[in-house]
Amino acid sequence: MSATALPSSAASRRRARLPSGTLGLGIGTLWLSIIVLLPLSAVVARAFDGGLSTFWDAVSNRQAVSALTFTVGVSIVAAAVNAVMGTLLAWVLVRDRFRGKGLVNAFVDLPFALPTIVAGLTLLALYGPRSPIGVNVAFTQFAVLLALLFVTMPFVVRAVQPVLIEIDREMEQAALSLGASNGTVFRRIILPNLVPALLSGAALAFARAVGEFGSVILISGNIPFQTQVSSVYAFKLIESDAPISAAAVSTVLLAISLVVLIGIRGLGRWGARHDR
């Protein structure tokens, strides 16, 4: 076919076929429905299998409430601590220069790559009964916090880093030229621009922490009313063949995840409001 030949009229009548979205939409929706939506709706449905009162009993009994309050509480603390330390780490990774920085940067993702059970085991090794430095926090609430700090460490760092990289350095210089001290520059110029990303990262960390299982089970001892988190409680319910109660507790956890996810979306939009 010569290079100047025009496509046949039949071919040109066929509309240009680009790798289109419709196929993806169909398959993607189907896949998501089968893999994600269907199972999750089974959970919610089963939770109410015995009626509203059974559901309520399952989530409001002492152990369930204790587990939930502990879980939410320790997750908030973990998210808050990581908000501060994660921002600090991001700052050092973006603004500072030292040998091995690239290595540290790569390692920040380790909690994403490492299996949670292994993470728990490593923390137990260093901060448990056979600790070489004599620090033993196993079977305490602090141990749970430690595990959550480990697995949620990258969230805030990775959320804040790109914003710090993108921030207009000249804004800071302008503030300096106007007489602001370093502290003022950080407080009034840098931080306000970091806040949306920071909150997003912290929210994601919180959502992850609330559901965390593998890293917690070895080091916490899973002591009911003390160091037992909701996911472990639900697991126990599954093992004791109480699916409705397990489903009820899971529904609560699911609801928390959903609320946080919706919040993060909103944060994204709020954060971009001054951009152009």
Partner 1 sequence: MITVRDVTKHFGTFAALDGISLEVPDGSLTALLGPSGSGKSTLLRVIAGLEGPDSGSVEINGQDATGVPPQRRGIGFVFQHYAAFKHMTVRDNVAFGLTVRKLPKGQVKGKVDELLGIVGLSGYQDRYPNQLSGGQRQRMALARALAVEPRVLLLDEPFGALDAKVRTELREWLRVLHERVPVTTILVTHDQEEAMSVADRIVVMNEGHIEQVGHPRELYDAPANQFVMGFLGPVSRLGERFVRPHDISVDSVPVDGGVQALVTRVVHLGFEVRAELRIDGEESVSVQLTRDDAHRLDLAPGEIVWLRPPRDERVLDVA
Partner 2 sequence: MIVERRWRIGLRVVALGWFLLLLLAPVGLVFYRTFEHGVGAVIDSITTPAAVSAFWLTIEVTAIAVPLNAIVGVLMALALARGRFRGKALLNGLLDLPFAISPVVIGLSLVLLYGRTGWFGPWLADHGIQIIFSVPGIVLATIFVSLPFVAREVTPVLREIGDEQEQAAATLGAGGWTTFRRITFPAIRWGLAYGIVLSVARAIGEFGAVSVVSGRVAGETMTLTLLVQQRFENFDLAGAYAASTLLAVIALLTLLVMTRINPRREEHDS
Interacting residues with partner 1 (CB under 8 A): 168, 170-171, 173-181, 184, 188-189, 192-193, 274-276
Shortest reach from residue 265's CB to partner 1, in Å? 20
Would you count residue 22 as binding partner 2 (CB under 8 A)?
yes
From residue 62 to residue 91, the character string flagging contacts with partner 2 as x (rule: CB under 8 A) and all else as - is -----------------------x--xx-x
**Among residue numbers 101 through 130, which ones bind partner 2 (CB under 8 A)?**
102, 104, 106-119, 121-123, 125-127
Shortest reach from residue 170's CB to partner 1, in Å? 4
Give whichever of 49 and 168 is closer to partner 1, judged by the CB atom: 168
User: Which of the choices partner 2, partner 1, none does residue 9 contact, using the CB cut-off of 5 to 8 A by kind?
Assistant: none
User: Which of the choices partner 1, partner 2, none does residue 40 contact, using the CB cut-off of 5 to 8 A by kind?
Assistant: partner 2
Stretch in the footprint of partner 2 (CB under 8 A) among 17-25, 51-59, 61-69, 191-199: 17-25
Shortest reach from residue 163's CB to partner 1, in Å? 12
Written as one string, the DSSP assignment of the chain is --TTPPPPHHHHHSPP--S-HHHHHHHHHHHHIIIIIHHHHHHHHHHTTTHHHHHHHHHHSHHHHHHHHHHHHHHHHHHHHHHHHHHHHHHHHHH---TTHHHHHHHTTHHHHS-HHHHHHHHHHHHSTT-TTS---TTSHHHHHHHHHHHHHHHHHHHHHHHHHHS-HHHHHHHHHTT--HHHIIIIIIHHHHHHHHHHHHHHHHHHHHH--HHHHHHHTT-TTTT--HHHHHHHHHHTT-HHHHHHHHHHHHHHHHHHHHHHHHHHHHHGGG--
